Amino acid sequence: MNFSEWLAANGYDAEALNDKQRVHLEAAWKAETQPPSATPAKDDEPSSFAEKMAAIEEEVARKAYIEAATVAACEKRTNDPEKVKQLRELGIAAIADPKMDPKAFDLALLRTDRMVGPMILTPRRPVISEDVLEAAVCQADKLENIESHYSPQTLEIAHKEFPRGLSLHGLIHHSARRNGWDGHDIKSNWKEAISHGFRQTGDYWAAEAGPSMYSLPNILSNVANKFLRVGFDAVDSAWREIAFISSFRDFKQKTTIALTGGMEYKELAPSGEIKHADIGERVWTNQARTYAIMLGLDRQTIINDDLGALTGAGRRMGRGAALKLNDRFWSVFLNNSTVFSVGNANVRTGGTSALSLSGLQLLDETFRLQTDPDGKPLGIFAAKLLVPPALRITAMNLMNSTFIVTGANTTLPSNNSFVGNYMVVSSPYMQNATYTGNSATAWYLIANPNDLPLIEVGFLDGMESPTVETGQAEFNHLGIALRGWYDFGVAFQEYRAGARAAGA
């Protein structure tokens, strides 16, 4: 059968073929109609070699034809991205299927090209992605509110594939096997398994990282960060209620123009000239610093399959970061003798400064009578009542009680005018003896930080929680290393946004 007859027998139009298609089809025709056995092998070329080469050439021709046909079909559909995607997926699948010959592919291509609507590809079993492995690990150690971290589909696959969750050994095993490891026992081969999971290269393994591979450090880091957030959120966060939260672009000192004074609008003159605002030297500054720590999962932890050590390390690192943030914040806030002073007209002392209905009335008046740098009313009112634990119940009673019972020798209205007026905020740091300026009697009225910030907490790139990464430990440590870091800065801003009562 000659080439033209072969084309007709297989349903090809010889006149419609381009040069590239003709070359590939001719190679397929030769491979089919002129088998290697019909050509005598040379003395130095055994028939097995010829047969193998013929099969290789045939496969190369098959793939080349499918690629060319796919490209040609997609070029006709450049105005239909969804159809191009369908044709591309068909071509990739056909190339991977050695049973898909050119004729069968042409038929499949024709059907797909004419098909209306999306092409639905149903895999035989769910895809085990890195997210699924992470979810299975988190399920094993009962991560709180896991539904907020993973999609319902991911959680369903994780539960179906790993009904009891995934242990530390299971995670390492899956990652290492996917990345080329052919071992089975993690206990006796833990170092080699981890090396494969971490995609390291060596004499025994070298490969390009691709979509079919798992990144063990990514999975470990993501799991640790999920539990880190749990530990972070469990620590006192009263600072969030009174601080303005901002973002740093880098580690340079950030300067912000003050919001008070010099910005009052001026009447437009007949000339139409608009006067410049006078911002003077009224600026605020803040700067991010880096705080970090390292932990390790040692060899014993890995061999013992102690998943709790990983998730527990994440929790502890989250808690440690939150403690550091609190430490910096309250160290700055409580050491406030220059911020709340007589010169700034935002402080009350003596017996009348105790937290009570009358004391609250006096500090409220002090706050409202503050002026901007031009001597005019500030125009900002307090929104938060900040108190130490010793005064928390008193503050809550003042804010929640509609009626006030007074002493026999005091004449006051029975109604409480302050009920619900301020949000009560309290922190144990306020009367902790290790902090300069701590007090069990001092209390504050503070403006909404979004209206006028008394104090600012800024985070690098807006990352309000710390980050944890994992990697193989250094040579002198057997195991896996975890490192966490946190970039933030704390600084006072506008002193007029608060008023302090000494309480004694």
Distance CA 428, CA 238 (A): 9
Task: Tell me the DSSP string of 177-241.
Answer: HHTT-----TTTSHHHHHHHHTT--BTTB-----TTS--HHHHHHHHHHHHHHHHHHTS--THHH
Do you know the residue count of the chain?
A: 504
Q: How much is the average pLDDT of 88-112?
A: 84
Instruction: For residue 406, name the pLDDT band (cuts at 50, 70, 90).
Output: low
Q: Point out the least confidently predicted range of 23-27, 71-75, 316-320, 326-330.
A: 23-27
Please say if the pLDDT value at position 342 is more than 70: yes
- The pLDDT assigned to 251 comes to 93
Please say if the pLDDT value at position 498 is more than 90: yes
Instruction: For residue 118, name the pLDDT band (cuts at 50, 70, 90).
Output: low
CA trace torsion 214, 217, 223, 226 (10° rounding): -120
Strand partners for 458 = 246, 489
Please say if the pLDDT value at position 37 is more than 50: no
Distance CA 476, CA 12 (A): 67
- Whether 332 and 457 have beta carbons less than 8 Å apart is answered as no
Question: What percentage of the chain carries pLDDT values higher than 90?
Answer: 35
Q: Point out the least confidently predicted range of 31-40, 106-115, 204-213.
A: 204-213
Structure tokens at 95: 């190339």
Instruction: For residue 425, name the pLDDT band (cuts at 50, 70, 90).
Output: very high
- The pLDDT assigned to 235 comes to 94
Q: What is the domain partition of the chain in residue ranges?
A: 3-114, 130-222
Please say if the pLDDT value at position 488 is more than 70: yes
- The pLDDT assigned to 57 comes to 87
Structure tokens at 174: 């899956």
Q: How much is the average pLDDT of 54-78?
A: 87
Q: Which is it for strands 423-426 and 382-387: parallel, antiparallel or unpaired?
A: parallel
Strand partners for 174 = none
Q: What is the pTM of this model?
A: 0.65
Distance CA 99, CA 96 (A): 9
Please say if the pLDDT value at position 469 is more than 60: yes
Q: Between residues 182 and 361, which one has the greater pLDDT? A: 361
Task: Tell me the DSSP string of 345-410.
Answer: T-EE-SGGGSSSHHHHHHHHHHHHT-B-TTSSB----EEEEEE-GGGHHHHHHHHH-SB----TT-
